[in-house]
Amino acid sequence: MSIPTDFDLDQLATQLGERLRAARDHVVTAESCTGGWIAKAMTGVAGSSDWFDSGMVVYSYEAKQALLGVSPQTLESHGAVSRETVIEMVSGALVRSGASVAVAVTGIAGPGGGSEDKPVGTVWIGWKRRGGYTRAELFHFEGDREAVRRQTVGAALRGLETL
């Protein structure tokens, strides 16, 4: 997978915004490893207030619990970078917003923080439509911190296209 440029991310966000506006959907983001970059890409599009609801940056366990309702047991048992956590993040984002669709990301962008089980570049992304089932996907991105984050933003935006 190639590393998306700023232009690529802008194009993805613009196309997504057109689709969301046409469907009268609003989106919420819950971001850990991307630090708000998905929301930045979306709100960089003129007119995004028609379809962007809100975004939450949740790095700490405490923030994931307080802002998204992620269970302490989930974090203790599975860790922040897990299928279970991203499912609770994306569901919590919908519960705590007026949005109709959501995306959540949690991962290890590096350069530190990786382990044998979860090396740098390990990212879980979850997508959900209000009232629907969560789709969660595991990615293993290559490159430095910036490359991992760019690839995560691109994958998150592309995944929203399929909701």
Instruction: Report yes or no on whether pTM surpasses 0.95.
Output: yes
Contact 89, 104 (CB under 8 A): yes
Q: Is the pLDDT of residue 127 over 90?
A: yes
Of residues 66, 12, 15, the one with CA closest to residue 37: 12
What are 48-101's pLDDT values in tens digits? 999 999 999 999 999 999 999 999 999 999 999 999 999 999 999 999 999 999
Q: Alpha helices, DSSP H only, in the chain?
A: 6-23, 37-43, 61-68, 72-78, 83-95, 145-160
**pLDDT on residue 73:** 98
Looking at every residue in the chain, the average pLDDT score rounds to 97
